[in-house]
Structure 1
Amino acid sequence: METLTEKAPGKREARKEERRLAILQVAKRSFLDNGYSGTSMSAISAELGGSKGTLWSYFPSKEELFAAVLDHATTSYRQELGDLLAPSADLRATVFAFARSFIAKITSPEAMRLHRLVAAESGRFPEVGEIFYRRAPQPTQQLIAGFFAVQMDAGHMRRDDPLAAARVLTSLCMGGAHQRLLWGIDTSPGDLEAEAHYAADIFARAFEIT
């Protein structure tokens, strides 16, 4: 009996997590297809089946649901970046690897749809821009800044504000293909590779990476 008592909560938690992930998948599709304003908790609940109260027990508001969708979409990538930004004897190579990975991520079809959503709706719904910034760009920049702080302390790059340096690097990565795709202009994998090299080279020279 003791064993069954120990296993039961685990099964319940697993079912709750499965339900939560199902909600996030439906919500993500709705946000990307219909926009923030065109997505309703009622429609998501109807697609999922079950009562609206069940959805609200997981996410008390559309704002919290949107934030959870962003968290789910970005957490795994930040874990990848954590592995990518490991101590290395070749800091230039690490910066280039980051630039290539980051550009590939932000120019993916799903990321472009999300950026268009935020750009289109944050004027009318400021919470959309706020949630997006707090859940996507900001934690990514903070992660990079932590890596740069260590590199600066080790004398591998020019001393500066690590967070400012992180913002410079991400801005360089967003200045080319990302903007063209945002405006509906096609780009090629070769363009992405060249832009990663260019962004990494400019950054390395600006911050005197040895």
Structure 2
Amino acid sequence: MIEATSKRELNKVRRRAMIVEVATRWFLENGYAATSMSAIADEIGGSKATLWSHFASKDELFAAVVDELIGRFSEEISEFLINQTFSITNLKNFLQRFLDRMMDDPSARLFRLVLGEGERFPEIQDLYWERGPATMHEHVSDFYGTAFEPDEARRLARVTIAAITGFRAQLLIAPPDLMQSEAKLFVESLVSHLHFPACEKAQRPSDAS
């Protein structure tokens, strides 16, 4: 009986994951308004009641898609920062990876989608903020905190994230061929203009190899 229950629960989890995967493609390719629960149900097959048993509304399914995408992004970036201590080299590597991940197709489409639908669905903006920028601020603060006092670490994190997310918004409307070259130049420029308080562990940009 326990084994049968476990198998049903596992199938339920797999079914939900498949629904979110299909819905992700629909929302990112077609936007919120042009995506319907019926279309998603038709693609996954089976009874439409099955879809509604997992998600009571399109809003709820949309929230699950946003949560899944942001969760993947945050996990990948967070893994890069875990056990890393501050150095100019590590900072540059992180910023380049952070920007590359923000500009990949799913992340860029999600950003546009949240901006486009955020006014209509403020809960999506809240979710995006909590799982995205707010969480990332904590991780970057911890990274800077390996070399600087907590207040300085938070200041550096706030400036760093604001700068790179602002640059991402600029790149989204720039010609595609400018992305790679401009991104690398931006990272170099940002690091060279950041003010790092005196600290034994901190290298100045000019000292980096």
Task: Give the TM-score normalised by structure 2.
Answer: 0.79
Take 1:6 and 1:159, find their aligned partners in 2: how far apart are those partners?
Answer: 49
Distance in 2 (alpha carbons) for counterparts of 1:146 and 1:59: 36
Q: Does structure 2 conserve the Cα–Cα contact (< 8 Å) formed by 1:63 and 1:127?
A: no
Counterparts in 2 of 1:130 and 1:159: CA distance versus 1, 3 Å: closer
**Unpaired runs of at least 5, structure 1:** none
Q: Report matched runs for 1:52-201 at 5 Å.
A: 52-88=48-84, 90-148=86-144, 150-151=145-146, 156-160=147-151, 162-176=153-167, 178-186=168-176, 187-201=178-192
Query: Which moves more between the two structures, 22-31 or 109-118?
Result: 109-118
Q: Distance in 2 between matches of 1:207 and 1:173?
A: 21
Q: Write the letter of the residue equivalent to 1:197.
A: E
Alpha-carbon distance between aligned partners in 1 of 2:106 and 2:114, rounded to the nearest angstrom: 13
Contact 1:122 1:128 in 2 (8 A): yes
Q: Residue 206 of structure 2 aligns with which residue?
A: none
Structure 2 residues without counterparts, runs of 5 or longer: 203-209
For residues 122-162 of structure 1, what are the alpha-carbon distances to aligned partners after superposition, in whole Å with 9 as ceiling and x for unaligned?
233333323322332222223323444x42xxxx2254265
Structure 1 residue 105, shift from structure 2 partner: 0.9
Equivalent residue in structure 2 for 1:30, among 16, 26, 29: 26
Asked if 1:19 is matched to 2:35, the reply is: no
Greater mean deviation of Cα atoms: 160-169 or 135-144: 160-169
Runs of 4+ off more than 4 Å: 161-164, 206-209
Q: Please, which of 23, 33, 49 is the counterpart of residue 45 of structure 2?
A: 49
Distance, in Å, in 1 between the alignment partners of 2:156 and 2:52 is 40
Check whether the contact 2:71–2:131 (CA below 8 A) recurs between aligned residues: no
SS in 2 for 1:174: helix
Give % identity: 33
Mapped partners of 1:144, 1:170: distance in 2: 8
TM-score w.r.t. structure 1 length? 0.79
Kindly provide the CA deviation profile for residues 34-59 of structure 1, in whole angstroms up to 9, marking residues without a partner as x. 21222222322222222232122222
Query: Does structure 2 retain, via aligned residues, the 8 Å contact 1:70–1:136?
Result: no
In 1, Cα distance between the equivalents of 2:106 and 2:12? Answer: 26
